[in-house]
Amino acid sequence: MKEVSNMEKESCQNFSGNEGTALAGKKGNRVKVLFLTNNGNALPLYEWICERADADLYGEPLRLEDIQRFSPDIVISYNYSHIIKQEIIDYMHGNIINMHVSYLPWNRGSSPNLWSFLDDTPKGVTIHKIDRNLDKGKILFQKRLEFDPAVETLETSYKKLNEEIVALFKSHWEDLINQSYVEYEPKEKGSYHSQADLKELQSMISFSWSDTVQDVVAAYKERVAKSV
């Protein structure tokens, strides 16, 4: 697996593909994409984008001088662990999107897959705009999903969520780069969990990502009941 977190920059010249898609209003020019990630599971999507656009891969904290150097038309964040500063959002005129493996506004923040089961909240994937508030930008596209807790593990459900969000992204590629979408804000307040919440959970119960969802939820409910 390729390490992304220590990679400053990698361009599409290292990948196959030479056919591009023109951004609306940029006649004949290939759209320029800055792809942000720290996770190797995002690299297949980056390679897919490289076949359709001029793209750069970046995994470090993004600074204003970086965005000015890359000069992208659109920024795509997928499994990227760093907060994007407001000055960068302003510089891009809001044209920064994030791919989040939860059915927003539910389970903003860390470990959304895990908490969707523990809190019994809606499950799915969301592509949304990035703004100053974590995972609270306007929603562009969503898909709700269902899982069988007796069959799925935390690992297999996470894999399926990532497969679904990649498929959703690909199906709306033209819409995203041409900004042909209707933005909307959810009516529900939703939920949020931090990395500290995960650490507290791990101090409460013992579980692994290969455990079935049903077993993890049962252990969590038993522990909560004992603490009441």
Residue 1: inside a domain, yes or no?
no
Residues 182 and 10: their CA atoms lie apart, in Å, by 32
Please measure the distance between the N-terminal and C-terminal CA atoms of the chain and give it in whole angstroms: 44
Domain tally for the chain?
A: 1
Coil, strand or helix at 190: coil
pLDDT tens sequence across 18-40: 333 333 334 347 899 999 999 99
Render pLDDT for 165-188 as a digit per residue (tens, 0 to 9).
999 999 999 999 999 999 999 999
The span from the CA of 216 to the CA of 38, in Å, is: 27
Has residue 79 been placed in a domain?
yes
Per the domain annotation, does 2 fall within a domain? Answer: no
pLDDT > 90: percent of the chain: 80
Mean local confidence (pLDDT), 57-67: 96
Is 216 among the domain residues?
yes
pLDDT band at 197 (very low <50, low <70, confident <90, very high): very high
Q: Would residue 87 count as lying in a domain?
A: yes
The predicted-structure confidence for 109-121, as pLDDT tens digits, reads as follows 999 999 999 999 9
pLDDT at 25: 35
Please report how many Cα atoms fall inside a 13 Å half-sphere around the Cα of residue 9, on the Cβ side: 11
**49 domain-assigned:** yes
The per-residue pLDDT for range 68-86, each reduced to its tens digit, is: 999 999 999 999 999 999 9
Residue 135 lies in a domain: yes
Domain that holds residue 59: 10-227
Indicate the pTM of the whole model.
0.88
Rg (CA), the chain: 19
In a domain, residue 210? The reply is yes
Which CATH number is 23's domain given?
Answer: 3.40.50.12230
